[in-house]
Amino acid sequence: MSRLSPPGPWLDAIGIAVLAAIAGAMAWSVGGDAIDDFFITYRYADNLAAGHGLTFNPGERVFGTTAPGLALLLGALRWLTGVPVPTLGTSVTFAAVLATSAIVLVQARRRGRGPEALAGGGLLAASAFAWVHNGAEVFVVLALLAVAATLAARRGRLGDAAAGLVAGAAAWCRPDAVLGIGLLGLVEWVRRRRLPGTYGVAAAAVLAAGLAAAWAWFGSFLPATLEAKRLQAAWRPEIWPSGADFWPAASRLLAEHAVGSALLPLALLGLAGLPIAARRGGPALRLVVLYAAAQAVSYPLLGVAFYAWYLLPTLAAFGYGAAFAAGAAGRAAWRFFGARSWAAAPAVLVAALLLAPVAEGVGRSARRMLADPPAPSRLEDYRRAGAWLRRHLAPGQVVATVEVGTLGFYSQLPIHDVMGLVSPVSLPHIARGDQAGALAAGRPDVFVVYAPHSPFLGAVIGTERFAARWCEIARLPGAEELVVYGRRTPDGRAPAGRPGCARAAVASRPGPRP
């Protein structure tokens, strides 16, 4: 007996069922809840299904999502099924996590590394940090790259063409997937000792089609969000760290919300196991590891502003790395005892002891999520505020705000994004650090919604310039109170006897407070 895991496809089925149960429980706990940024893509998808095209504000063709491919997928599913987009976002995340971990499991089991792949997939499927970010396009990208690597490993023109098409589709979901496309081509070039021409042509064709479609619809090849996030990092590095501060900020976040005190064991064991996972885990895991490494290096070098979901590929890769490192130690112990059947017990014990701190950290956060699903306070506040605005404002009135996703999705009103993610008109003002100018750039003619936690508008609210143009019309209670301001009359006064402002629909269309 030369392997700790006996061969047999039935093991794949059992392992996949275990992964599906873990991922399914986590997906059920979060439901359709997601962080605000993902609701930007959700609104594009919802508008697409409603016949408004791929737009955030109907009638405005602004490239304000980094995930147009995911928006197309969610929009199509919404149109076909009628299921709400947030629920579809969680469902797609479940399918992507399960597909990635199942592909890795099948390939690794064939190479005698089934236990390691099951453990690594379990860490990913049970990660509360990952499920807080359900709805992120990263999960779809990882699944598509895993499929592409599997197809390319089969060789043949048909397999190469299919691999190129699938890999190209990953870049439609996230631009930095081009790193994975290039790495897969490089891996196949080294492995075959010749350029995988068919793969390259197919991937290039999908990329070209995506760029052409983006230019035809948006008038831009790349999302405005890329420039907006670069300007954010340059303007307020203490809020959006980048460069040398990228990974220190990431480490603090992971320690606080992902694995707690197990961060150091995860980092050391994961780093040690990455080469083993890439070499022994099969083509899909190899590409996932290489893509995560390329992203981890390129983001700080490019000065990309830090956002939490950028950590997902690295977290997945390090989880697998930790599992494969622990497995390698267990196999070494097994060989030390002469590879006898009784030696399996101490070998498993060695591997389990090494992986225990990481598994305990992930498991603790997973148990906490399952026991008390974390409905993000901002999600609830903005969802409530969006419903309030929809009841009280007239159609077509513009809401200016900082976090535009959830508020825009549930209000269904035109949104001016003072941070510039979906309103590029704000970007020149952000570049100059002109907060008031960014607020006024979109000419929001009715309301500004101010969240007290916002680091952006805090320097604007309370100034004489702001007070001369806006007045408070409502406070919406929640975990953090949201304050709604309306534009004053041209002479600077509010209508007599009203808390509202000129042209404010709330003055003529009162409704219940949330």
CATH number at residue 418: 3.40.50
Residues 165 and 281 in one domain: yes
Residues 345 and 312 in one domain: yes
Residue 473: its H or E element: strand 470-476
pLDDT given at position 349: 85
Residues 367 and 381 in one domain: no
Tell whether 475 is covered by a domain: yes
pLDDT given at position 502: 46
Instruction: Quote the number of domains for the chain.
Output: 2
Provide φ and ψ at 408, rounded to 5°. Answer: -65, -40
Residues 365 and 387 in one domain: no
Tell whether 101 is covered by a domain: yes
Residues 276 and 399 in one domain: no
Tell whether 17 is covered by a domain: yes
pLDDT given at position 346: 79
Q: Which domain holds residue 23?
A: 9-371
Residues 398 and 361 in one domain: no
pLDDT given at position 491: 61
pLDDT given at position 163: 97
Given 346, 371, 396, the domain boundary residue is 371
Residues 263 and 338 in one domain: yes
pLDDT given at position 183: 97
Model-level pTM? Answer: 0.90
Residues 484 and 354 in one domain: no
Residues 149 and 198 in one domain: yes
Provide φ and ψ at 312, rounded to 5°. Answer: -60, -45
Contacts for 445 with CB less than 8 Å, ≥ 6 apart = 397, 398, 487, 503
Residues 350 and 288 in one domain: yes
* pLDDT < 50: residue spans in the chain: 1-6, 495-500, 502-514
Tell whether 268 is covered by a domain: yes
Residue type, 486: G
Given 344, 371, 398, the domain boundary residue is 371
Which residue, among 158, 161, 121, 162, has the nearest Cα to 142 in the 3D structure?
A: 121
Tell whether 1 is covered by a domain: no
Tell whether 4 is covered by a domain: no
Given 371, 394, 418, the domain boundary residue is 371
pLDDT given at position 207: 97
State in Å, rounded, how far the first CA of the chain is from the last one: 66
Residues 118 and 250 in one domain: yes
Which residue, among 361, 337, 360, 359, has the nearest Cα to 347 in the 3D structure?
A: 337
Tell whether 448 is covered by a domain: yes
Tell whether 186 is covered by a domain: yes
pLDDT given at position 506: 40
In the numeric block, which tokens belong to residue 4? 């700790």
* Interatomic CA distance for residues 459 and 491, integer angstroms: 24
Residues 89 and 233 in one domain: yes
Would you say the C-alpha torsion 51, 57, 60, 63 has a positive or negative sign?
negative
Long-range contacts of 152-155 (CB under 8 A, 24+ apart): 152/184, 152/187, 152/188, 152/196, 152/199, 152/283, 153/283, 155/192
